[in-house]
Amino acid sequence: MSNNIYIVNFQILVQSVILRVYRLPIVLSWLGSFITPIMQQYTEWRLYYADRKYNLEHNSQVCRLRKLLNDYFDPALRRISIEDGIYYLRPYVFLEPEDKPLYLNQNVYIMTQPEYDSGHDFVVKLNGCTVSQSQEQMMKNRINYYKLAGKRYIIEP
């Protein structure tokens, strides 16, 4: 869809609506004073529309989330990356009725549930990109807006 679809020039609109007899500078400026609040509201709407359109172009995919974070916080060097969290493989211990023996050698350690959990599903790496405390909070807000529900993350410098 074209970006020019919602562009309205209110000065030309006012000139084209009134009769040619009344197109005097004093009348046009008088009518211009009436449309000033409409023009301000229109400008606010255009900014809101551009922001919503940008938000709809991004989602929780890693490539789009990385692009979004680099656009906001490191537009020049684009050093921010997103990597998977640490996952530990869990050995399955069969129950007696299953009758499938599992021989444990000396390299297999059975841990409890919290020991297998790394605490995060993905890592946002800044890779030397410096962000202030307020920018880090903004980054967390952006990530929370786009990430899938239940996904956990950490931000590493």
What are the tens digits of pLDDT across the range 84-113?
Answer: 887 777 667 777 777 776 666 666 666 776
Rounded-to-integer distance, Cα 135 and Cα 156, Å = 14
Rounded-to-integer distance, Cα 82 and Cα 93, Å = 34
* Single residue among 56, 78, 94 that ends a domain in this structure: 56
With contact defined as beta carbons under 8 Å apart, do 118 and 154 qualify? no
Distances from the Cα of 104 to the Cαs of 24, 107, 112, 151, in angstroms? 95, 8, 16, 33
Same domain flag for 84 and 129: yes
Same domain flag for 78 and 135: yes
Same domain flag for 150 and 126: yes
Point out the residues of the chain with pLDDT beneath 70.
1-3, 90-91, 101-110, 113-117
| Residue where the block lists tokens 């684009």 | 78
With contact defined as beta carbons under 8 Å apart, do 126 and 80 qualify? yes
Same domain flag for 127 and 141: yes
Predicted pLDDT at 33? 93
Same domain flag for 48 and 82: no
Quote the domain boundaries for residue 52. Answer: 3-56
Same domain flag for 46 and 73: no
Domain count, the chain: 2
Same domain flag for 79 and 117: yes
Same domain flag for 69 and 40: no
Same domain flag for 73 and 49: no
Same domain flag for 137 and 97: yes
Predicted pLDDT at 104? 63
Predicted pLDDT at 2? 62
Residue 80 class from Cβ within 10 Å (0-12 exposed, 13-18 middle, 19+ buried)?
Answer: buried
Predicted pLDDT at 42? 95
